[in-house]
Each structure stands twice: as structure tokens, then as C-alpha cells.
Amino acid sequence: VVERAVFDGLALHLGRGLDAVFGPGAWVPTRGPWRGVALPNLPGSDARWSVPHRHWHVDEPTTADRPHPYSLGAFVFVDRVAAGGGATVAMLGSPRRLRALAVDLAPGRALTLDESTRGLARVEPWVDALLRPGSDPAARHRRFMIDGCVSADVPLRVVELIGEPGDVILMDLRCLHAPSASVGDRPRLIVKMACVAPP
């Protein structure tokens, strides 16, 4: 449980990183039951890693009139996470693209999860293909992680959130992301922590 004192060092490490990037106190790790969660991903039976087509989602809804997120997700690496090792995958550019989609689909309200995924797929063939299974992992890797696409003037591309012990990756929680299969020989060990801008 991330609320336990043994994880205090991670919160301090994260806080120093936030101060270095954004300035002192601009973003701070949350406290209490929303502080974070350990997210191990154990090796499975998949023979080859492939860009996932299922479970794409956002952790915070998108509205057209809010340029900045309410919170940030921080992936704090406890161990090395290599490509194919069960990392979360994220769609670069998706927060901007979803804001543009919200102008069309959800003026005055937040996009629903269905609008953020299937709604985007209805207007962008590249996203539609991403959300469908594919039989060729190499072709999916090339199309979604190398080539990407430009949708409504926003470049989109899928990346794996990989890193070394002590690394931190910050993510806008309006970013589309998904879990991926772990095909390595060791579990993915990270702690996902939450950060907020003080009032």
C-alpha cells in the first residue's frame, strides 16, 4: 500500500523532480489514500509483444475549455522496465486531439470515456485501426509507434513508458493510455503516484 511510510522516499524523490521541472511548489505529490498505487505487471504467456488494441482509456475527462489537467500521473520506476516488459503505452498528442474533439462532440461538458476512444476512432481511421486487433506485431509497431499520424493538425504516436530505477515519467491524465503485455523475464515494477497543483 503506497500510503505506508516505506514509500515516503518515493514521494520526496518525486517532489524534488517536480520542483526542478516546474518550479518550487507548482505541482506537489498528493497525500493520503490518493497518493498512489503499486502497479506490478507479471510476465505472461504472449510470445511476441504487440501494440495493444484493448483497454485504452483516460484517467481524467477532457473538456474543450480547460487547457491544463487537474492532476498529473507520475510513473516512478522501482526497477528497470525495458521495451516489451509490460510498460504502460500512451498516445502522444492525445490530450490536444481530445480537446479538439470536445469542441465538436461535447461543448459545455466533458467527453465520456466512449467519446474519448470510440468517438475519436469514428473521426480518425488511424485510431480506429489501433483499437482493432492485428495479426502482425511488426506492422502494428511500425504503424502506431514509428509512423504515427496527424489528426486535425495534431501529431499522434504510441510510446512505451520505459525507464530505469529512479526515473519518473509525468503524464497528463487526459492522455489516452493502455496496459501492455509483459513478454520479458521479470515483472514490471512501478509506482503510479498522483500530483496536483496547490490552490
Neighbouring residues of 79: CB distance < 8 A, sequence distance ≥ 6:
165, 186, 187, 188, 189
Predicted confidence at residue 23, as pLDDT, reads 97
Residue 37 has a CB neighbour count (10 Å cut-off) of 14
Predicted confidence at residue 162, as pLDDT, reads 97
Predicted confidence at residue 4, as pLDDT, reads 77
Q: Which residue has the cell 492485428?
A: 134
Give residue-wise pLDDT tens across range 127-152.
999 999 988 999 999 999 999 999 99
Instruction: Report the predicted TM-score, pTM, of the whole model to 2 decimal places.
Output: 0.94
What Rg do the C-alpha atoms of the chain give, in angstroms? 17
Predicted confidence at residue 32, as pLDDT, reads 79
Predicted confidence at residue 1, as pLDDT, reads 62
Q: Which residue has the cell 505472461?
A: 44
Q: Which residues of the chain fall below pLDDT 50?
A: none
